[in-house]
Amino acid sequence: MGNFGQLMDGFVVALTMHHVMIMVIGVLLGLVVGVLPGLGAPNGVSLLLPLTFTMDPIAAIILLTSMYWGALFGGSTTSILFNIPGEPSSVATTFDGHPMAKQGEAVRALTLAFGSAGFGAMVGVVVITLLSGWVANFALQFGSPEYFAVYFMAFASFIGMAGGSPFKTLVCIMLGLAVGTVGMDTISGEGRLTFGITQLTNGISFLIVVIGLFGIGELLLTIDEGYKFEGVKAKLSLRVILRTLAELPRYWVTLLRSALIGCWMGITPGGPTAASFMSYALGRRFSRRGKYFGKGEPEGIVAPETADHSAGSCALLPMLALGVPGSATAAVMMGGLMIWGLSPGPMLFTTRPDFVWGLIASMYLGNVIAVVLVLATVPIFAWILRAPFTVVGPLIAIICLIGAYTVSNHIFDIWVALAFGLVGYVFKKLDYPLAPFVLAVVLGDKAEDAFRQSMLSSGGSLSVFFEGSLVATMMGIGILLLSLPLLTALFGGLFRRGAEEGQTSRP
């Protein structure tokens, strides 16, 4: 009941005309970000962040989270109508969404996507409501060794669970940690990795990093792959929308399974993209109509969209309660909290309960507003996206460069953003994940500080990370996650070898 009472107080904060208007504006901006390939939620939030520096923190975070929801919904629009995912997490939606749209059922596909996305997001917010207080109280037991163990688990989770090549993930984390150390050492006062460039003395802003990686990098990739906007016409039909919404409960098993997958991948650093692909794969595996996946099957839309949005919501829980973001966008938002003078972590629930519960209440309202607005604006964005890429591309580039300059009003930041744009392009071409890199840039200095404080308190002994039951458990889990790819390869090889020997021994 404590959480329920605080949530009601949060609704008192969120349900003001000022904050509701901010939600509407944020969702509309997010829709623009989501439907334009080359932007995406992390870059869109980072572009908007400098505009919030003079705002009240509650209004600022409501604006950013509303933009986040809008970007997630907007990415589904281009996936279905144009077969171009506006968000990386919307890639799986193209598999069945675009084929259904090409069959003349674009409105049905969009309604399935937005309805299941709204359900997944709401489940994620409910999970945050129920678990945030418990996670925050549990984290009050943390000291510097425990915080380092949490950061270690976050990095290890990316390597062990995020999918893809563990080696590439490790390389991205190490490079991100290196970028995070650029600038003045807070303890010794010496410059690190500045190479004599005075502009690097204060370090590299994570905003510049994300603008380059997610904005300019995606734009270069789009140009290289020659994307063309060739969409499917979509005209709203209220009858089709209502009939499709009534159809959704038929897929309740897929909805629940995908929401659980998304919540787990959001709380752990798996992220929405991994959640959507995992949910699609499991949906295809367990569905009685699995052979129709990829041909416009409704479950092929419901599964990734539900997981994508539940993961996107739950990614904010570890960011608020532990100071460990569960996604690249959550990492950008965490940077915003620190700029506003707020420290993400358990004490935030005690020192600023109005901020935390006002944010959680706004997430309920923001998701409802996003579902309504995204259905109403589909024809508008379908018309906009028929503009040639020679018009849309330069606009994206201008927005990115202006966003980089406004961080600190230095021309040098534009060159840094362009450099990270090339890095993002190379990472994408070589299939190196960007989320671990961004996570390491944001958490690198915090992990280093926690490690140094632990070493100072223990006289340089690593045993401090294994003395208490809590820190030892978390370090053990981190080591297990770190070694998971090796264990999987080892046992998988033994299993295959045993099967081969069994086959050769048969007469």
pLDDT tens for each residue of 179-210: 888 887 766 667 787 777 877 877 787 768 87
Asked if residue 120 lies in contact with residue 309, where contact means CB atoms within 8 angstroms, the answer is yes
Query: What pLDDT, on the 0 to 100 scale, is given for residue 376?
Result: 78
Per-residue pLDDT for 15 more than 70?
A: yes
CA distance 439 to 313: 17
Which pLDDT score, from 0 to 100, does residue 306 have?
A: 92
Residue 135 located in a structural domain: yes
Backbone φ and ψ for 382, nearest 5 degrees, come out as -65, -35
**In this structure, what token pair is assigned to residue 216?**
């300019």
Q: Determine the Cα–Cα distance for residues 245 and 258; give it in Å rounded to an integer.
A: 18
Structural domain harbouring 201: 2-502
CB-side neighbour CA atoms (13 Å) of 246: 6
For residue 184, the 8-state DSSP code is E
- Of 42-51, 180-189, 405-414, 497-506, least confident by mean pLDDT is 497-506
Question: What is the number of structural domains in the chain?
Answer: 1
Residue 256: pLDDT over 90:
yes
Is pLDDT of 451 > 70? yes
Q: Between 63 and 503, where is the model more confident?
A: 63
Based on the number of CB atoms within 10 Å of its own CB, is 505 exposed (0-12), middle (13-18) or buried (19 or more)? exposed
Which of 7, 9, 69 lies closest to 33 in space, CA to CA? 69
Nearest Cα to 332, choosing from 108, 10, 67?
67
275 lies in a domain? Answer: yes
User: Is the CB of residue 353 less than 8 Å from the CB of residue 228?
Assistant: no
**pLDDT for residue 114 is more than 90:** no
The answer to whether residue 507 is domain-embedded is no
In the structure, what pLDDT confidence band is assigned to residue 1 with cuts at 50, 70 and 90? very low
* Bigger pLDDT: 327 vs 495: 327
The CA-atom distances, in angstroms, between 349 and each of 140, 335, 361 are 10, 18, 14
Alpha-carbon distances, residue 293 vs 75, 113, 259, 273, 284 (angstroms): 20, 15, 19, 19, 6
Average model confidence (pLDDT) across the chain = 78
Element (H, E) at 262: helix 252-267
Residue type, 103: Q
The CB-side HSE value for 229 (13 A sphere, CA atoms) comes to: 20
| Phi, psi for residue 460 in degrees, rounded to 5 | 90, 10
CB 100 within 8 A of CB 108: yes
Where on the phi/psi map is residue 432: left (φ > 0), alpha (ψ -120 to 50), or beta?
A: beta
- Over residues 308-325, the pLDDT tens digits come to 888 888 878 877 777 776
pLDDT attached to residue 338: 76
Does 274 score more than 90 pLDDT? no
pLDDT (tens digit, 9 = 90+) per residue, 338-394?
Answer: 777 777 777 777 788 888 888 888 888 888 888 888 877 766 655 655 666 677 677
Q: What is the pLDDT of residue 362?
A: 85
Q: Which residues contact 216 (CB under 8 A, 6 or more apart)?
A: 397, 400, 417, 418, 420, 421, 422, 424, 425
Q: What's the pLDDT score for residue 506? A: 54
- 96 within some domain: yes
Contact 168, 433 (CB under 8 A): yes
Let me know: does 208 contact 413? Beta carbons within 8 Å: yes
Burial 481-492 (b: 16+ CB within 10 A, else e): bbebbeeeeeee
For residue 306, tell me if it sits in a domain.
Answer: yes
Q: Does the predicted TM-score (pTM) go above 0.75?
A: no
80-102 per-position pLDDT tens digit: 776 666 666 777 787 888 788 87
The answer as to whether 231 is a domain residue is: yes
CA 422, 423, 424, 426 dihedral sign is positive
Number of residues that make up the chain: 507
Average pLDDT over residues 104-123: 86
